[in-house]
Amino acid sequence: MLNTKQKTLRRFWYAIMPMEHLADGPKPFTLLGEKIVLFLDGEGKPAALEDRCCHRTAKLSTGWCKDGNIVCGYHGWEYDRTGKLVMVPQFPERQAVPNARTRGFHAQERYGQVWVALDDPIADIPDVPEDVDAGFRRIPQFYEHWKTSPFRLMENSFDAAHIAFVHRNTFGDINDPVPEQYKIEETAEGFTASVRQEVVNPAHAQKITGEPAGKTMRNMVNKWYVPFYRRLDIEYPSGLRHIIFNCATPIDDGNMQLTQILFRNDTEEDCPAADLVAWDEAIVREDKDMLECTDPEVVLDLKMRTELHMVTDRPGMIMRKRLLQVFHDNGEEEYVEGAAPVLAAE
């Protein structure tokens, strides 16, 4: 699958950037290979347009906002939040503005982020009920560029076998390579993978987990939503919940944007947000280094046999099957470029 060729992927919402990045003016982003500009309209709501002025093609993201419109920095032409050209400052008062526009995209705010869908969306942004639950706080953890594809991040998030190796210096145990199996239930939006796992709670993690150091059990409910969202709900025996929500946003065929937001049912006094970011950061770094050395192109069609699989890869295999089905349901085939089958030894 090449992300930029699969039209169906244009019909999902993606987290683009934290809302506060737009406070001081328009910002550019590349989504599925499309250069877009984001800005705030007169009501403070996010808007997304093609980052190209219809006068001399200048990037609108180098301009500024005025009364809820975006102004091109080259000759001052103004566009409203839908992309319609509304003002040409060089024209005399009685001369009508040409009937023209730059392309507009769907945009909205959710969980403190700007979300964009390039074409009419076929699914909502996954609901995180804790966002409106007064017992929980929301902590933005990561907003960063990774040189890999969103599918690789998604399947890694459900790959129990990498932990003993990739995370051998944090929480993995390289002498215990056979992981606990997830119980997987497919859902309308993706699947739910659950596991109850024995882990070691290190002394420095006591504030994070609310538990004493030593061996402990924890329940993990890890949900995948088509195409590139994930919600990991970790429940510690202390009653503390550590809920990670990710959106892996496709920038182009080899790059993605990781957005990670944490929800916790404790307070800043119980455990400072900075400690929670630092705790998850060590783990995320290890995944990033490994994923950036994989091939960003993932072939969904298992019949092509471009990769081998093992039992612990079942979540990733279900993802391939479901995503391919969504493409087919939307009248699209998978686009494959250059991927070759795995060689036989003899």
Q: Residue 287 binds what, of Fe ion, ligand FES, none (CB under 5 to 8 Å, by partner type)?
A: Fe ion
# residues contacting ligand FES (CB under 6 A):
9
Nearest approach in angstroms of CB 129 to Fe ion is: 26
Residue, CB closest to Fe ion = 287
> Could you count the other beta carbons within 10 Å of the beta carbon of residue 337?
10
Listed ranges 57-65, 118-126, 283-291, 333-341: which one lies at the site for Fe ion (CB under 5 A): 283-291
Q: Does 66 bind ligand FES (CB under 6 A)?
A: no
Residue 100 token pair:
């023209």
Site map (CB under 6 A) of ligand FES, residues 23-62, x = contact: ------------------------------x-xx-x----
Q: What, of ligand FES, Fe ion, none, does residue 56 touch, CB below 5 to 8 Å by kind? A: ligand FES
Residue 297 within binding range of Fe ion, rule CB under 5 A: no
Q: Which of 64, 74, 143, 335 binds ligand FES (CB under 6 A)?
A: 74
Shortest distance in whole angstroms from residue 58 CB to ligand FES: 4
Residue closer to ligand FES by CB (options 57, 170) is: 57
Q: In this chain, which stretch among 110-118, 139-147, 270-278, 284-292 interacts with Fe ion, using CB under 5 A?
A: 284-292
Least spacing, CB of residue 112 vs ligand FES, in Å: 31
Asked if 87 is part of the footprint of ligand FES (rule: CB under 6 A), the reply reads no
Count of residues engaged in binding Fe ion, rule: CB under 5 A: 1
Q: Does 277 bind ligand FES (CB under 6 A)?
A: no
CB of 84 to ligand FES, least distance (A): 14
Build a one-symbol-per-residue string for 238-277: x at contacts with Fe ion by CB under 5 A, - elsewhere: ----------------------------------------
Only segment of 73-81, 104-112, 180-188, 230-238 that touches ligand FES (CB under 6 A): 73-81
Burial class (CB in 10 A: 0-12, 13-18, 19+), 137: middle
HSE toward the beta carbon, residue 26, CA cutoff 13 A: 30
In sequence order, the β-bridge partners of residue 250 are: 256
Q: Which region, judged by CB under 6 A, interacts with ligand FES, from 70-78, 105-113, 114-122, 336-344?
A: 70-78
Please state whether beta strands 85-87 and 78-79 pair in parallel, antiparallel, or not at all (unpaired): antiparallel
Q: What's the 3-state SS for the chain?
A: CCHHHCHHHHHCCEEEEEHHHHCCCCEEEEECCEEEEEEECCCCCEEEEECCCCCCCCCHHHCEEECCEEECCCCCCEECCCCEEEECCCCCCCCCCCCCECCEEEEEEECCEEEEECCCCCCCCCCCHHHHCCCCEEEEEEEEEECCCHHHHHHHCCCHHHHHHHCCCCCCCCCCCCCCCCEEEECCCEEEEEEEEEEEECHHHHHHHCCCCEEEEEEEEEEEECCCEEEEEEECCCCCEEEEEEEEEECCCCCEEEEEEEEECCCCCCCCHHHHHHHHHHHHHHHHHHHCCCCCCCCCCHHHCCCCCCHHHHHHHHHHHHHHHHHHHCCCCCCCCCCCCCCCCC
- Options 52-60, 81-89, 122-130, 279-287: segment touching Fe ion (CB under 5 A): 279-287
Give CA–CA dist 342/4, Å, rounded: 25
Interface residue with Fe ion, options 233, 287, 313, 334 (CB under 5 A) = 287
75 binds ligand FES (CB under 6 A): yes
User: How far apart are the C-alpha atoms of 279 and 94, rounded to whole Å?
Assistant: 62
The nearest distance, CB 104 to ligand FES, in angstroms, is 16
Residue 56: CB minimum distance to ligand FES, A:
4
Interface positions with Fe ion (CB under 5 A): 287
Interface positions with ligand FES (CB under 6 A): 53, 55-56, 58, 72, 74-77
